[in-house]
């Protein structure tokens, strides 16, 4: 087999997908009309798969802050945090993040992926153990690979399985980092954190929690599932992203552990990549206080989430285990999932199509993410579009 032969299965997969029309991946949004609407394939479309949970991407003060930063500091930093890429905005953002989370230390990375991957890969090394929830995000898996640590998976959201695996580790629990997520991005279920932290403390391990999808969504101040569950003091490291509730791009890690500061000298994804641009830093800084000061957005987000979940359940779709801002409908047959995804788009509704192996099981997902900015009428239109899938005859060639 030659170097490039490995792409043959991708070519076959692409050809297969093209049979259903345009490729579902990389669908082009030709115009963004608002946080919840765009023009997609020439059609006015409700955006119900954007992770724009608080719907703040057009917030005037954040846009203004970004424009000012670009005018004053330029389009990019052209260097890494370790070299020329640390501006006063990066330092200020770190101290504001630490304050937001009530922690002593914060590190800003260029993307959420780099934050999670780099933190996992740097905290654990050869001889250590990474004990991760089986459904963790790719950035956590990649961090595991890079770390050189021994990797053990526990069953998704299963405290008893975590307990069992820690018990088997004996003294090695001292060198163990447990990694899980606050809100899981595919099925929208939440980690049973109160149970997990009790088990972690009993075994003397440490815990890293990825709040990428839960920041802004859970907790009185929007700090995430750990805040909502009242267990923040039991979580050693929190990682997250600016690309969802904060409406920009970038990532962070916060902790009370002083070692976090030393990660600046050790985390390769912090050292060897250009720092976030001034405009990104400025809009994120302007957005952060809004997360805490506008709890009404969370109330609206949850109202919308429950309405969508109830509507799709009523329409007969099998959904993830609990209501929340991520609502995923299982579709056992991949061909049908692709067909339905196209039909939703034709009906003016964009959701994410997720197919195995990116899904936790063999089923595909029509994954919706809801926003505080969606109107009740928009949520009802999404539900109606899903209902029409069941009512209308299947497209030619689509197997059921
Ligand atoms: C759990 C989790 N961690 C990290 C990331 C990476 O974040 P970003 O897309 O901002 O790089 C994601 C992305 O969706 C995620 O779901």
DSSP per-residue letters across 89-134: HHHHHHHHHHHHHT-SEEEEESSHHHHHHHHHHHH--TT-EEEEET
Task: Give 189's DSSP letter.
Answer: P
Sheet holding 176-181, edge to edge: 105-109, 251-255, 237-241, 206-210, 176-181, 129-133, 150-154
- Of all protein residues, the one whose alpha carbon is nearest to atom 16 of ligand 1 is 185
| Inter-residue contact 248 to 284 (CB < 8 Å) | yes
Q: What pTM, to 2 d.p., does this model score?
A: 0.95
**Does residue 205 surpass a pLDDT of 70?**
yes
Q: Cβ of 318: how many Cβ atoms within 10 Å?
A: 12
Q: Where are the beta strands (DSSP E) in 166-222?
A: 176-181, 206-210
Rounded Cα distance between 70 and 76, Å, is: 8
Strand-pairing partners, residue 238, are 209, 254
The whole-number average pLDDT for the span 358-363 is 87
The whole-number average pLDDT for the span 284-297 is 97
The whole-number average pLDDT for the span 132-158 is 97
Atom of ligand 1 nearest to the CA of 250: 10
Q: Indicate if ligand 1 lies below 6 Å from the C-beta of 116.
A: yes
Task: Choose the residue to mutate in 51, 113, 211 for probing ligand 1, maximizing ligand atoms within 8 Å of C-beta.
Answer: 113
In which region does residue 219 sit, left (phi positive, over 0), alpha (psi from -120 to 50) or beta (all else)?
Answer: left
Q: Indicate if ligand 1 lies below 6 Å from the C-beta of 210.
A: yes
**Does residue 230 surpass a pLDDT of 60?**
yes
**Does residue 61 surpass a pLDDT of 80?**
yes
CA of 269 to the centre of ligand 1 (A): 14
Nearest in space to 109 (alpha carbons), one of 269, 285, 280, 277: 269
Residue 278: partners with Cβ closer than 8 Å, 6 or more residues away = 69, 70, 72, 73, 74, 75, 76, 77, 87, 89
Q: Cβ of 11: how many Cβ atoms within 10 Å?
A: 9
Atom of ligand 1 nearest to the CA of 244: 10
The whole-number average pLDDT for the span 84-92 is 98
Size of the chain, expressed as the number of residues it contains: 400
Please report the pLDDT score of residue 399 as a whole number: 33
The whole-number average pLDDT for the span 243-253 is 98
Question: Please, what sign has the CA dihedral across residues 32, 34, 35, 39?
Answer: negative
């Amino acid at each position: 087999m030659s170097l490039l032969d490995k792409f043959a299965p991708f070519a076959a997969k692409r050809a297969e997908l093209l049979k259903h029309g345009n490729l579902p991946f990389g669908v082009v949004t030709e115009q963004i009309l608002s946080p919840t609407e765009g023009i997609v394939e020439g059609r006015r479309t409700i955006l119900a798969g954007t992770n724009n949970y608080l719907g703040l991407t057009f917030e005037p003060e954040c846009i203004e802050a970004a424009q000012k930063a670009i005018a004053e500091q330029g389009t990019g930093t052209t260097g890494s945090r370790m070299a020329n890429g640390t501006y006063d905005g990066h330092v200020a953002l770190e101290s504001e993040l630490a304050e937001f989370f009530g922690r002593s230390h914060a590190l800003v990375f260029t993307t959420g992926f780099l934050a999670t991957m780099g933190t996992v890969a740097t905290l654990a090394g050869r001889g250590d153990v990474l004990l991760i929830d089986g459904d963790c995000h790719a950035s956590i898996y990649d961090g595991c690979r890079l770390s050189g640590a021994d990797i053990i998976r526990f069953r998704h959201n299963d405290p008893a399985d975590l307990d069992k695996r820690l018990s088997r580790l004996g003294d090695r629990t001292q060198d163990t980092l447990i990694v899980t997520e606050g809100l899981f991005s595919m099925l929208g279920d939440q980690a049973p954190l109160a149970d997990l932290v009790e088990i972690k403390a009993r075994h003397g391990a440490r815990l890293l929690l990825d709040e990428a999808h839960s920041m802004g969504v859970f907790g009185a101040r929007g700090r995430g599932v750990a805040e909502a569950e009242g267990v923040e003091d039991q979580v050693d490291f929190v990682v997250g992203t600016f690309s969802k509730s904060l409406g920009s791009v970038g990532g962070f890690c916060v902790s009370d552990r002083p070692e976090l500061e030393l990660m600046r000298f050790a985390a390769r994804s912090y050292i060897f990549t250009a720092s976030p641009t001034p405009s990104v830093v400025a809009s994120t800084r302007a957005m952060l206080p809004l997360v805490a000061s506008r709890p009404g957005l969370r109330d609206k987000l949850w109202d919308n989430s429950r309405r969508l979940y109830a509507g799709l359940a009523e329409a007969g779709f099998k959904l993830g285990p609990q209501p929340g801002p991520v609502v995923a409908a299982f579709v056992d047959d991949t061909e049908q999932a692709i067909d339905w995804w196209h039909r939703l788009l034709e009906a003016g509704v964009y959701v994410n199509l997720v197919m195995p192996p990116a899904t936790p099981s063999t089923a595909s997902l029509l994954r919706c993410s809801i926003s505080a900015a969606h109107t009740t009428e928009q949520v009802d239109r999404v539900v109606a579009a899903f209902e029409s899938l069941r009512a209308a005859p299947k497209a030619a060639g689509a197997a059921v």
